[in-house]
Amino acid sequence: MLNILKIRDEFPILKRQINGKPLIYFDNAATSQKPRVVIDAFTEYYQNINANVHRGVHNLSQEATNIYEEARVKLQKHFNAKNTHEIIFTRGTTESINLVASGFSQLLKKDDEIIVSQLEHHSNIVPWQIACEKSGAKLKVIPINEKGEILLDAYKKLLSKKTKVVAISHVSNTLGTINPIKEIINLAHKQNAAVLVDGAQATSHFKVDVQNLDCDFYCTSAHKMYGPTGVGLLYGKEKWLNKLPVYHGGGEMIKEVTFEKTTYADLPFKFEAGTPNIAGVIAFGKSIDYLHNIGFDKIITYENDLLEYATQELQKIPDLKIIGTATHKASVISFIVEGIHPFDIGNIIDKLGIAIRTGNHCTQPIMQHYNITGTARASFAFYNTKKEVDIFIKALQKAIIMLS
């Protein structure tokens, strides 16, 4: 069992009031709140170390390098990557995907094919469209059913010897659908295609083992995992990272520079040009420690219970329809209310101290599939409670009455 009172006490922002009401934060799919140990990691670094990494012989630089690289080791162990140099630090999931897509734009040939799904966030669509424009490759799309689940039979028909990359979300940020990633990867590998998994919405809910999945690339962001914004990671199999061309040029990612020729550094530094987000990486490591101290088994059980409870309560509201009813879901609920714009709902319940997300959630193809303009989305974390759900339901009912 989780000690919810203790956990909530560890998140300073949960003591805030919004418009005179205690904050209820149900926008965790956008970004999760930060525990004190993560916030303190920033203060500790800037107050007592504040030196660049990898480049200095002085003591502060060595301290910064050691604690920075310790975070890389933590993430390697957490995701069960085979090697530490398979963990590349980026600004987040979006940059991680762009790094890989940019590299493949130089490896792909005309009429090669890239497969994405109808569930994807724009960040896992647009970079591949750019890669297609540059290379002449073609983009193929896996359709979904009315529950918001990928149609595996359609996916199997899309796969062919022309398929070079499959880019797929582990969990849908809009619908909460948990995709059958391992099966998707196995099928792609039978065609010798590389697979990139967008794990931004998965890694806060359950532990990911990249070797068990056998994915070629896995991307996530620290700020979805109770860590800081502006930092994330790209896991890549060593063979693929060596194949990809460099993404950014500058300091750190070079071995030798002359005006005639530049040679590049070994992994992971080949993809880590410039001064990194040192404090962010260190704090990312702290967020991993924090999650392990709580325990992912406990997180999964608690969040699933909260999701089930919230789903049942929402279904009692007349004219409310949940969008996305996959059998396997993370703790995300998107919904619409007949005759009422989602923005108006979000605006009113914000006045009551409740933060939810409204709009298309950077997934316009999903909205087109359901023939809607947007949804209201409540997304839960392990610091949320059933009492908060009850307050949310009452606020939602009040908003519906006001807007009807």
Catalytically active residues, by annotation: 362
**Residues 290-307 as b or e (16 or more Cβ within 10 Å = b):** bbeebebeebbebbeebb
Cα separation, 38 vs 280, in Å, equals 9
**Cα within 13 Å of Cα(83), Cβ side:** 10
Please list the alpha-helical segments (H only) found in 136-206. Answer: 152-158, 181-189
Coil vs helix vs strand at 34: coil
Cα separation, 394 vs 392, in Å, equals 5
**CB–CB of 11/385 below 8 Å?**
no
Q: How many residues does the chain have?
A: 404
Distances (CA, A) of 174 to 26, 219, 377: 13, 18, 7
| DSSP assignments along 9-23, one per residue | HT-GGGG-EETTEE-
**CB–CB of 61/278 below 8 Å?**
no
The DSSP symbol for 122 reads G
Distances (CA, A) of 175 to 78, 302, 327, 330, 360: 26, 19, 11, 9, 11
CA angle 156, 160, 80 (to 5 degrees): 70
**CB–CB of 364/124 below 8 Å?**
no
Cα separation, 239 vs 242, in Å, equals 5
Cα separation, 216 vs 185, in Å, equals 9
| DSSP assignments along 222-247, one per residue | GGGGTS-TT-EEEEE-HHHHHHSPPS
